[in-house]
């Protein structure tokens, strides 16, 4: 099986030992505490789950600025995006060496982690601007990732953490949320050697299904891990529970038995396009996948990135940086001429009318109105689940 990023074994930061964890929860009650951002809580969950191996906690300014600039920490270690605990005001923990981090996404703000404070550093406006531009390639506050990154504060709390729970993810998505440790163990039990990862924040239509199957066939994969983001999305994206149900139905009916694992991870979407694609590759390697599918406009939003920028960023990433391989997917759609889903770039004899295309807006309008989607675009059983959601939203 492929090695984790930066180490021989996975080193998750979640405290597994029940007695030790109970002891830390008790300790946390007496520590200075601070409610962290949703982004920082997501980072804690990813660190706890082993997805962000081999990091030991939140980055300091030197590492964060270096990572944002050229995807390497100050000591040269490869990492694609800053992993930060940024707050508006750190006065409540001033001079503290050990603090309790409180979860903003769970009622009552329980402790999600304990952090050893190595540094509390202020980021200047110019430093925030430089990081934003490097990560997102834009400073536009209408970009959801840029907005989220720049509205949580400019004070960074750096240092290692011990993670005490997985926030709301394991409770709200008990059938889907899995740690990198659990996925790696399951891949080992199944005896899979070549494993394809498919990243999604949306339900999977015929094009996504086809792309996954093409990738599996191209690399002769033993199986695929469909790995969905379970955290916060932008307005208009389909909620995780609806997406989960739709994907499960598609796999149940249209994939060969025992070739697909459906899982999810606890993290908020960055919408950082190319840089986020590289982060996706890092944590898919950590969970044991040998290949990541990177399709058109991977992790993008709006028109901020070129359609294949998330693929070309890997041109300069070597095996010294990452071991995982990238399967590069072209724009994929159903061909009326051939009667199947194919990559559009693989044929030269098609006109616009030979493809089945629907815009996201058109799909939403049809589903809300109770109109069936073309079976060439979406599996009927999947469309039925999505229709139920959109009709309930329209009725509100």
Q: For every residue of the chain, which 3-state class applies, written as one string? A: CCCCCCCCCCCCCECCCHHHHHHHHHHHCCCCEEECCHHHHHHHHHHHHCCCCCCCEECCHHHHHHHHHHCECCCCCECCCCCCCEECCCHHHCCCCEEEEECCCCCCCCEEEEEECCEEEECCHHHHHHHHHHHHCCCCCCCHHHHHHCCCCCEEEEEEEEECCCCCHHHHCCCCECCHHHHHHHHHHHCCCCEEEEEECCCCCHHHHHHHHHHHHHCCCCEEEEEEECCCCCCCCCCHHHHHHHHHHHHHHHCCCCCEEEEEECCCCCCCCHHHHHHHHHHHHHCCCCEEEECCCCCCCCCCCCCCHHHHHHHHCCCCCCCCEEEECCCEEEECCCCEEEEHHHCCCCCHHHEECCCHHHHHHHHHCCCCCCCCCCCHHHHHHHHHHHHHHHCC
Q: Computed from CA positions of residues 125, 128, 131, 135, in that sequence, does the dihedral angle turn out positive or negative?
A: negative
Of the candidates 11, 109, 147, 202, the residue annotated as catalytic is 202
Q: Which of 201, 248, 328, 364 is catalytic?
A: 201
**201 given a catalytic annotation:** yes
> Of 300, 338, 247, 317, whose CA–CA distance to 70 is shortest?
317
Q: Could you confirm whether 137 is annotated as catalytic?
A: no
Task: Report, as residue numbers or ranges, the catalytic residues.
Answer: 201-202
């Amino acid at each position: 099986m492929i090695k984790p990023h930066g180490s021989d074994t996975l080193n998750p930061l979640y405290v597994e030992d029940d007695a030790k964890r109970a002891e830390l929860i008790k300790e946390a009650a007496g520590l200075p505490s601070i409610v962290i951002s949703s982004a920082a809580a997501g980072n804690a969950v990813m660190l706890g789950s082993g997805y962000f191996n081999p990091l030991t906690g939140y980055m300091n300014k030197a590492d964060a600025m270096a990572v944002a600039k050229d995807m390497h920490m100050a000591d040269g270690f490869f990492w694609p995006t800053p992993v930060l605990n940024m707050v508006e005001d750190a006065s409540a923990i001033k001079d503290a060496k050990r603090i309790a981090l409180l979860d903003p996404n769970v009622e009552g703000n329980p402790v999600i982690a304990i952090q050893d404070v190595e540094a509390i550093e202020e980021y200047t406006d110019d430093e925030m601007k430089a990081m934003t531009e490097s990560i997102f390639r834009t400073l536009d506050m209408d970009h959801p990732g840029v907005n989220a990154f720049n509205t949580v504060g400019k004070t960074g709390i750096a240092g290692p953490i011990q993670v005490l729970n997985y926030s709301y993810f394991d409770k709200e998505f008990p059938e889907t949320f899995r740690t990198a440790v659990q996925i790696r163990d399951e891949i080992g039990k199944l005896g899979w050697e070549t494993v394809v990862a498919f990243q999604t924040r949306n339900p999977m239509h015929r094009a996504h299904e086809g792309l996954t199957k093409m990738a599996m066939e191209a690399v002769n994969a033993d199986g695929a891990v469909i790995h969905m983001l379970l955290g916060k999305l932008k307005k208009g994206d389909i909620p995780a529970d609806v997406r989960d149900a739709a994907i499960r139905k598609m796999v149940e009916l249209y994939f060969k038995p025992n070739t697909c694992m459906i899982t999810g991870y606890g993290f908020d979407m960055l919408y950082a396009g190319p840089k986020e694609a590289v982060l996706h590759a890092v944590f898919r390697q950590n969970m044991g996948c040998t290949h990541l599918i990177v399709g058109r406009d991977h992790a993008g939003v709006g028109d901020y990135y070129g359609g294949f920028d998330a693929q070309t960023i890997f041109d300069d990433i070597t095996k010294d940086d990452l071991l995982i391989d990238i399967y590069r997917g072209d724009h994929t759609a159903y061909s009326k001429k051939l009667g199947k889903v194919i990559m559009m770039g693989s044929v030269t004899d098609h006109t616009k009318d030979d493809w089945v295309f629907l815009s996201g807006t058109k799909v939403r309008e049809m589903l809300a109105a109770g109109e069936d989607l073309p079976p060439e675009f979406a599996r009927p059983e999947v469309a039925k689940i999505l229709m139920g959601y959109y009709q309930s939203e329209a009725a509100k």
